[in-house]
A and B are shown apart, each in its own frame.
Chain A
């Protein structure tokens, strides 16, 4: 877009940016009823309202919380974020005074930080669900795994490395289900009887690499992972790793051929116990609300109902779990006991264990981007080249291939960088600095040819793939602040996409809406490619970081 436009203050005020960072994972998850995820928490506490920073999977508690409101007079007002990001918000003090409580699948990661630990006054587990593997029934038969009740992580790892089992799993640096899976497989493969140490992780590295060759889908949120599983071509993705409750709930709406058999591996699981946690910074009135709410949620009849509605397991010992939840027990694999081990495991997943990524950024540098917008873009992308990132939540990973395409009326330039593997000389810092140099050289001028440039991105990927013949998570990010007004149209793009090879069709595009971007065009691109639309209006930094979970 090269039409002159009104300038407004950009980026937005610091408070709003802060909010957007913590609430932004929600951009795609807010279709169901209940509070809108992007609702900001009340600036100040209100009587009878408990402001809760929570994992978006708790949306399924809406009917229970409505009943709780009637019974106790306490309204829960949620803001959504990922478990590990939520832990950061608590540790850093960003949750103080803004929220009264936090509610994530697990507080294990939060508790490994002394400051984080001191910010939580009390924790009450409300329900339990182990992380499990949901395997498509036809795949289960091919593998000869019977009803799935006698399968170990070792068997799953063998099937994955033999190319017989491909699966989707959420990004462990963001999502508790992904992190729990990583802990479970690392424990199982290292033979560590007890909690993991750095040495155990080392020992398990070869088997972990083999296990992760089977991971074909990654995601920053479990909602999108489920969608991606549903739309994947038959045979592309045979399994999903997620909470038992999520897998069983998915079965309610999946067609027969996509039904999942839930495997809780025999050699052990890591379970989430959903502790409703009161923050030390909360005021007395909110503490009273918290006590009323937790007392209600633990009542036997309510526990029974929670299990029936959510397919999680009750924590009250006398209450039977809902029908369909098997009662045989599994060993609980211990969670790492230190932040260093936990972060080390995450960093090695991102940089060494997982399949590497091929990531293409299609960046609008048309005239309208001039000034604060291009500065915001440079800053957001530049952050991904920084090395101050202990658990691998942001920066371009070792072994990642990153392509930047700068476009306006046509593609201005295309530059590709390969971040070296761990242990290479020179190390990743040199290449990251070189990516940042390209980022800082972006300059704004010209019109907006969105579709032409996007088609070029697919061609770049085609060339890179056929030259390297490698096996990578491949995705495209499209950032634009305007409507496509030069070159190919949306109809042209659909025809182009239809003509792609099957593997290229499965490359998702993650468009970022910025400035006066045409939402309908961008949503169309996300839908056609199986991607997901992100909103960069609040904080471009936050959105670029969030998308890392999908790359």
Chain B
């Protein structure tokens, strides 16, 4: 590890010097190398040639490794050699900021709501049993109160009308997530459940933790071994294995659809209450800050962000425009779809909720 960081540091140094010598924006100019850690859901974006070309035009070359958001904050503890970290939500971003001693408010260039993916026949079973609804424009809604009630009651798939035709529907009804200790989407699920369990109040004290801890623990324990980043359960789902209900970023599905890849019979269910994943750039160096600024303000990059399934903060219509005729069906406007968005508990409370969910003694 020390050696790896040495290499990283050398690269960063080199990048910094190069950047200082060469003015940016000129064709053929040398570029500054920006080194960072990103969530796996943004890897395809940073690997895209158009994204690379636009960044290059602006004088940057990004070298990024993907990691689960919390793993990232662990890895980023000794920040030497890193220009930025780009987790998928504010909570790990705050943790990384604390580690790096940063005080500024980091930029959130784009966001993506957390959704539940299912195969269409399974969504129909949910609908038949009032756990989901579908509107005239074929946008699906996942009913969180009813889902949490099912979790509390230990409701099983075979209890649902219409499930017997599907051999993959057995055992208790639950949504599979990543490991909340290592990945942001898993942590967001814990935050979301805790909000519902705490009478639709963001958990802000021990009473709130106590009100949610038992169901959080069982909703986590029944999943068994959890994967460490959002890519994995989603890929398993795509391969036709894994749990029938998977917690994912809307952007993961949208990106596939926009690339023209067939998504089979996958449908996106929008929880009527859900957390938005605020993709937050924590910039440690000048180059890191420059990257953050470009991701937020550069018109070309914003269009590309939408093309990768994200919803750019500064261009609210861009996502809907692109997704208009795509399959599966996406909600063009989350406000119009009446998706409620609770905020994420403070880092301290979220850490306690995650520990309760994992049954760990912290």
Contact = CB atoms under 8 A, between A and B. Distances in A.
B231 interface: yes
Q: How large is the interface on B (under 10, 10 to 19, 20 to 34, 35 or more residues)?
A: 35 or more
A332 B223 CA distance: 11
A317 interface: yes
Contacts of B232: 123-125, 273, 275
A381 B159 CA distance: 54
Given A121-B65, A273-B236, A331-B169, A317 B225 contact: no
Interface string A296-314: 0000100000000000011
Contacts of B75: 121, 280
Interface in A114-144: 117-118, 120-125, 127-128, 130
B337 interface: no
B224 A128 contact: no
B182 A117 contact: yes
A269 B221 CA distance: 19
Interface string A252-275: 000000000000001111010101
Contacts of B167: 266, 328-331
Contacts of A285: 7
B264 A130 contact: no
B225 A112 contact: yes
Interface in A277-333: 278, 280-285, 287-288, 291, 295, 300, 313-318, 327-332
Contacts of A300: 261
B134 interface: no
Nearest to A193: B171
Contact of A318 (B228, B229, B242, B262): B262
A377 interface: no
Contacts of A477: none
B13 interface: no
A284 B13 CA distance: 14
Given A273-B236, A278-B65, A194 B223 contact: yes
B74 interface: yes
A300 to B, nearest CB: 7
Contacts of B43: 291
Interface stretch (A232-240, A334-342, A454-462, A494-502): A334-342
Contacts of A117: 71, 182, 228
B4 A195 contact: no
A407 to B, nearest CB: 47
A87 to B, nearest CB: 12
Given A122-B67, A273-B236, A337-B223, A332 B243 contact: yes
B225 A108 contact: yes
A111 interface: yes
Nearest to A128: B239
Nearest to B46: A291
B330 to A, nearest CB: 16
29 contacts: A108-B225, A118-B74, A120-B228, A121-B67, A122-B40, A122-B66, A127-B239, A128-B240, A193-B170, A193-B172, A194-B224, A267-B170, A273-B236, A273-B241, A278-B65, A280-B1, A282-B4, A284-B4, A295-B47, A300-B261, A316-B238, A329-B168, A329-B240, A330-B167, A331-B168, A331-B170, A331-B171, A334-B243, A335-B224
Interface of A: 96-97, 108, 111-112, 117-118, 120-125, 127-128, 130, 193-197, 266-269, 271, 273, 275, 278, 280-285, 287-288, 291, 295, 300, 313-318, 327-332, 334-337
7 smallest beta-carbon distances between A and B, as pairs? A195-B224, A194-B222, A318-B262, A334-B224, A317-B238, A193-B171, A335-B225
